[in-house]
Amino acid sequence: MAHWPQERRDTTLGALLARMVAETAQHAGHADIVREMIDGRGGSDHDMLDAEKWKRYLTQIQAAADTFGSTRGHTSIN
């Protein structure tokens, strides 16, 4: 890759493919988060729970997230 630093220009097709898969997965995850923010629904697991169980599930997820960085400027999922 001409725009990469000289010491990183030698690469393999396998390394490039692995990077592309990782980048694609990351962007797909971002798109899924945006979709969830727009429609307010989670993935397929949302359809498996009634409203009360879904609320308890979100509370558990939020509690876990809070233990890892509520002081780092992250926002709540609720």
Q: Is 76 inside a domain boundary?
A: no
Q: Is 16 inside a domain boundary?
A: yes
Q: Is 46 inside a domain boundary?
A: yes
Boundaries of domain holding 63: 42-71
3-state SS, residue 42: coil
Q: Is 5 inside a domain boundary?
A: no
* pTM greater than 0.85: no
One digit per residue, the tens of pLDDT, for the chain of length 78 reads 677 788 877 888 898 899 898 888 888 888 777 777 777 776 666 667 788 888 888 888 888 888 876 555 555 555
Mark whether 34 and 19 lie in a shared domain. yes
